Structure 1
Amino acid sequence: MPTLPRPLILLALLALYLIWGSTYLATKVALGSWPPFLLSASRFLLAGTLQYGAMRLSGAAAASRQEWGRAAVVGFCLPLFGNGATVFAQQYIPSGMAALLVATVPMFLVLLGWAAGLTARPTGKVLLGLALGLGGLGLLMSQRSAAPVLLPGHPGIGVAAVLLAAFMWSVGSLYSKKKPIAGSPFLGVGMQMLCGGGFLLVAGLLHGEASAYDLSAVPLKAWGAFAYLVVFGSFVAFSAYIWLLRVVEPALAGTYAFVNPVVAVLLGGLFAGESLNAGMLGGAALIVAAVALVVLGGRQPKRPAQDSQG
């Protein structure tokens, strides 16, 4: 495969850095009117239907049962757990803290990639980064935030949900890297969003959210947040992420976790009344340093014959 233009890769990374960092605030706005799992279900079912339909109308071949099976696995790991659990968690913790906890994704990618034989054994820097990351998580979990949340008093539920989301997101990312859907990656994204949206719909119904799903009561501001999640969070950023998993190493695709917390915290402070105390700032600094050590310390020099594909 020929080497891809660096500007194209950088543009995709920039989309992840800025767009996914801002979706935490959009999610918080939308959660004021939508229950969590049905919010994510609506988002992914709509985006998936439009993207899959557009790709099929443009001439993309129909996928096989095997490809749909792969899409279902990714939909189970990424939209259902990776996104659904994070949205669920934002009822209990501020959006900035959720973004900081999602910064553990690159660490999970390195560890799981090594366990699956996709990456090299962790170096000393990587192990140091993991230790710092655990320390940062412990410090974050010990803090109490005065930021407004929908369901105060149970931050541990939110922390546990985000960590589960980060783990499952990493599992799904590595699976997508190892077993990509044949053909257009954008057709595959539509399939994955459809499958994930279906799983989220079932989760929402089992969670008893149908009684709280009243579209007639959704204000214009929440509709705007929902539209932003569909167009930018799903169409643009999710497509960019799945494409990046095909063409670069998973840990590099996961570096969005460096920038997302900064964007989320800044926007949360400006528009949602969120703030970080000294303990949370210390935990955030440890996590960012940990991710840097894990990702940069774990990268291996490439042989001259290799191209940019991981």
Structure 2
Amino acid sequence: MTTLASRTPTTTPLSGLLLLCLAATWLVWGSTYLAIKFALLSFPPFFQMGSRFLFAGVVLMAWMRWRGAPWPNAVQWRNAAIVGALMLGGGMGCTAYAEVTVGSGLVVAFIAVCPLMIAALNLLYGVKPGRLELAGILVGLAGVLMLTQGAGFQASPTGLIAIIVACTTWSVGSVLSQRNLPLAPGATGFASEMICGGVVMLGMSAIAGETPHWPPQPAAVAAWCYLVVFGSLIAFNAYMVLLAHAPAGLASSYTFVNPVIAMLLGVAVANEVVTSFEWMAAGVVLVGVVLMLRGAKR
């Protein structure tokens, strides 16, 4: 999923560390949507994402506590539960659910609209976009409407509804976490969010009556481990480094790189079919995201 970087960088040169962090957010996050597809071979969507984030959150929380970070207080846990339910339960859970019937490349192309939705929701807080940002929002939404008319989403109305819910809940959760529901400082807050979101998704899995296939296929196990280690721990912490030490536009650049990588991997590795019209629609979405980020930078 996507969020907007807004922290002021402390350094600007592209060091070796920052280049590695860029590679992580571009390549690793771009590949996680295909990994979700492979994990679905044995692990149903809500069970897969719930177990992934719960495990990653416990590991990250243990690491932060070992380093001396304070335990989140009751209010911060409450905020983590609400934000985790929205961003992870609704956002990531419904994303995996959409991938049951829709190609991973098309799903992440649709998800690229999240920064635009976040900018639109910030209007409720009096944050008005500039002309370039507004143009980006309109262009991006036009691209999303084009995507919904493509063969992939037309063949799966359920997948389309799931990804709309995912983008909406992720964007609402992102804005609330920035405006009304602050988490615990640093990685401890994100660990608490992953723990709460994981518990919520496992509850959703139980309600849906999901049952993992046993024994799981080796490809599904490998994909699940990849999502935990590389997607939830390494790439996420790389993004936090970029937020602290890179320009905001550069830190957010994954929002328009990930869809291209995901679509290429989906076609090359999973033999997913993407029509020329859907490639064009994804391109329109990315143009909108680029315009919005350039406007925000100004």
When the two structures are superposed, what TM-score results if normalisation uses the length of structure 2? Answer: 0.87
Partners of 2:9 and 2:245 within 8 A in 1: no
Aligned residue for 1:213? Answer: 212
Matched residues, number: 288
Distance 1:263 1:245, change over 3 A: same
Distance 1:85 1:108, change over 3 A: same
Partners of 1:105 and 1:254 within 8 A in 2: no
TM superposition shift of 1:103: 0.6
State the alpha-carbon separation in 2 of the partners of residues 55 and 157 from structure 1.
39
State the alpha-carbon separation in 1 of the partners of residues 201 and 275 from structure 2.
34
TM superposition shift of 1:113: 2.4
Q: Following superposition of structure 1 onto structure 2, how do residues 1-310 of structure 1 map, counting pairs within 5 Å?
A: 3-6=9-12, 7=14, 11-117=20-126, 119=127, 121-145=128-152, 154-178=155-179, 179-183=181-185, 185-209=186-210, 212-214=211-213, 216-241=214-239, 254-300=252-298
Instruction: Flag structure 1 segments of 5+ consecutive residues without an equivalent.
Output: 146-151, 301-310
Letter in 2 for 1:191: S
Partners of 2:113 and 2:141 within 8 A in 1: no
Partners of 1:177 and 1:250 within 8 A in 2: no
Distance 1:170 1:51, change over 3 A: same
Instruction: Flag structure 2 segments of 5+ consecutive residues without an equivalent.
Output: 1-6
Letter in 1 for 2:287: A
Distance 1:26 1:295, change over 3 A: same
Aligned residue for 1:304? Answer: none
Partners of 1:173 and 1:250 within 8 A in 2: no
Distance 1:12 1:172, change over 3 A: farther
Partners of 2:52 and 2:228 within 8 A in 1: yes
TM superposition shift of 1:162: 1.5
Partners of 2:87 and 2:174 within 8 A in 1: yes
State the alpha-carbon separation in 2 of the partners of residues 173 and 72 from structure 1.
13
Q: Secondary structure at the match of 1:217?
A: coil
Q: Secondary structure at the match of 2:272?
A: coil
Q: Deviations over 1:219-262 (max 9, x none)?
A: 21111100000001111223444666678898775442201111
Distance 1:65 1:251, change over 3 A: farther
Equivalent pairs: percent with the same residue? 36
Q: Deviations over 1:74-109 (max 9, x none)?
A: 211221112111111001210000010011011012
Partners of 1:173 and 1:245 within 8 A in 2: no
Letter in 1 for 2:32: T
Q: Deviations over 1:166-187 (max 9, x none)?
A: 222222223333454344x122
RMSD: 2.6
